[in-house]
Amino acid sequence: MIPISYNGAKGRFAAKIARLFPILDSSTPYIEPFVGTGAVTLEVLSRTKRRCMVHLNDANGELMNLWTAITWHHERFQSRLEGAIAGMVNPQPVDFIDRAVNFYLDHQKLARYKTSNVSLMVRNFEKVARLLENFQCLFTSMDAIELVKACGVYKPSGRWNGAVIYCDPPYIDTEGYDHDVDHGALAAALRAAAAQGHHVFVSLNVCEKADELYSGWRKVPIKKLAGRADRGERYEVVYTPSLRLEV
Ligand SMILES: C[S@@+](CC[C@H](N)C(=O)[O-])C[C@H]1O[C@@H](n2cnc3c(N)ncnc32)[C@H](O)[C@@H]1O
């Protein structure tokens, strides 16, 4: 169901990762500081019955603008996307919806797509919008570490049970994103968040540096679900200090 294809999308890892998280309820915000295409988000929210707060963030501001357009303005977004594909490819953007359309078209290189693909995409956007309208969504584009530090507002007390914070940063020692993160600083911020009572999960590639950064945390290997075009890593790891895992 993901709205856009993307480098590093969790795709065939998502179902197994989502199963690790505690059940969300109205006192448990769900926070993804590196949301990308939201493969894990959409999997988690499809399994969630209660209306909870969902905070999605990515340093890529145009990507977050696309999330906003799809979720809150999906009819306008879809009709302008269809118009752009039908003949006015890359119109001069006049507002954030045009920007979202252009970002989407540039990203997916859709000018060559046939009508059947467009209706498939439109159905996908509708599904995403219908799912997300059941939650209180907040979209931001800020540095992930700053967001993790700001999660203190949800720490367990009367109103909140602590948040589920799922981080899927760029792999350690790999390239390919316009934005990157200081993995040492991220690990420190996540340890502080866990100490406040949040449920913290972080996906990483299998490597010694990740083991060092998250030493003392549980390490859960996640095997990619098999698919026809199997490329890239077959295993990832999720680190978590949570003792309540049911894998
Ligand atoms: C591995 S991808 C996330 C993939 C996502 N789980 C999915 O299924 O599509 C990493 C994301 O982190 C974002 N990113 C990189 N550095 C960041 C930072 N310092 N703060 C926030 N986002 C960042 C990138 O723009 C990218 O979208």
What's the CATH code of the domain at 195?
3.40.50.150
Do both 147 and 243 map to the same domain? Answer: yes
Do both 158 and 231 map to the same domain? Answer: yes
Question: End of a domain among 138, 158, 185?
Answer: 138
- 127-167 pLDDT, tens digit per residue, is 999 999 999 999 999 999 999 999 988 877 777 788 999 99
Do both 45 and 154 map to the same domain? Answer: yes
Asked if 59 and 179 count as a contact pair (C-beta separation under 8 A), the reply is yes
Asked if 36 and 9 count as a contact pair (C-beta separation under 8 A), the reply is yes
Question: End of a domain among 138, 160, 190?
Answer: 138
Do both 114 and 173 map to the same domain? Answer: no
Do both 150 and 247 map to the same domain? Answer: yes
Q: Which of 34, 151, 167 for a ligand 1 pocket mutation test, highest count of atoms within 8 Å of Cβ?
A: 34
Do both 6 and 71 map to the same domain? Answer: no
Query: Is the CB–ligand 1 distance for residue 177 below 6 Å?
Result: yes
- The CA-to-CA distance between both ends of the chain, in Å, stands at 24
Q: Which of 116, 53, 51 is nearest to 82 (CA)?
A: 116
Closest ligand 1 atom to Cα of 32 = 6
State the Cα–Cα distance between residues 32 and 55, nearest whole angstrom: 6
3-state secondary structure the chain: CCCCCCCCCCHHHHHHHHCCCCCCCCCCCEEECCCCCCHHHHHHHHCCCCCCEEEEECCCHHHHHHHHHHHHCHHHHHHHHHHHHHCCCCCCCCCHHHHHHHHHHHHHCHHHCCHHHHHHHHHHHHHHHHHHCCCEEEEECCCHHHHHHHHHHHCCCCCCCCCEEEECCCCCCCCCCCCCCCHHHHHHHHHHHHHCCCEEEEEECCCHHHHHHCCCCEEEEEECCCCCCCCCCCEEEEEECCCCCCC
pLDDT attached to residue 235: 85
pLDDT attached to residue 240: 97
- 21-50 pLDDT, tens digit per residue, is 998 988 899 999 999 999 999 999 999 988
Query: Is the CB–ligand 1 distance for residue 32 below 6 Å?
Result: no
Do both 113 and 232 map to the same domain? Answer: no
Task: Count the domains in the chain.
Answer: 2
* Residue 34 CA to ligand 1 centre (angstroms): 4
* Residue 168 CA to ligand 1 centre (angstroms): 6
Tens-digit pLDDT string for the chain (247 aa): 677 777 677 778 899 999 999 989 888 999 999 999 999 999 999 999 888 999 999 999 999 999 999 999 999 999 888 888 887 555 677 899 999 998 988 887 655 555 556 777 778 889 999 999 999 999 999 999 999 999 988 877 777 788 999 999 999 988 767 788 999 999 999 999 999 999 999 999 999 999 999 999 999 999 876 665 555 567 899 999 976 555 4
Do both 146 and 38 map to the same domain? Answer: yes
Do both 30 and 110 map to the same domain? Answer: no
Closest ligand 1 atom to Cα of 58 = 22
Q: Which of 16, 174, 177 for a ligand 1 pocket mutation test, highest count of atoms within 8 Å of Cβ?
A: 177
Query: Is the CB–ligand 1 distance for residue 36 below 6 Å?
Result: yes
Do both 80 and 130 map to the same domain? Answer: yes
Do both 133 and 151 map to the same domain? Answer: no
**Residue range(s) defining the domain that contains residue 219:** 1-60+141-247
Question: End of a domain among 88, 114, 138?
Answer: 138
Asked if 42 and 32 count as a contact pair (C-beta separation under 8 A), the reply is no
State the Cα–Cα distance between residues 96 and 119, nearest whole angstrom: 22
Q: Which of 5, 67, 179, 233 for a ligand 1 pocket mutation test, highest count of atoms within 8 Å of Cβ?
A: 179
Do both 102 and 209 map to the same domain? Answer: no
Which residues are within 8 A (CB) of 150 and not within 5 positions of it... i.e. 6 or more apart? none
